[in-house]
């Protein structure tokens, strides 16, 4: 999961720019990248939209992946 968050940060060009794009603090982005916490459903959906689908919300947020399994 951390590698995916790092790729997301690379996509935007840094933690601060990622934070701005997703409407969160840079501290939140740092927490994702370091593995302190996972991305929420809302932020994961923002990331998918902000990257035009390059990063899927269900890949960024474990609970969305679980939800997909239950509804499939």
How many Å apart are CA 57 and CA 69, to the nearest integer?
Answer: 14
What percent of the chain clears pLDDT 90, i.e. is strictly above it? 83
Q: What is the pLDDT of residue 39?
A: 96
All domains in the chain, ordered by first residue: 2-71 (1.10.260.40)
Asked if the model's pLDDT at residue 19 lies above 80, the reply is: yes
């Amino acid at each position: 999961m951390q590698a995916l968050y790092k790729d997301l940060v690379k996509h935007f060009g840094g933690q601060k720019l990622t934070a701005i794009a997703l409407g969160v603090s840079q501290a939140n982005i740092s927490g994702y990248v370091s593995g302190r916490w996972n991305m929420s459903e809302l932020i994961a959906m923002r990331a998918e939209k902000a990257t035009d689908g390059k990063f899927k919300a269900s890949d960024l947020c474990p609970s969305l992946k679980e939800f997909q399994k239950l509804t499939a």
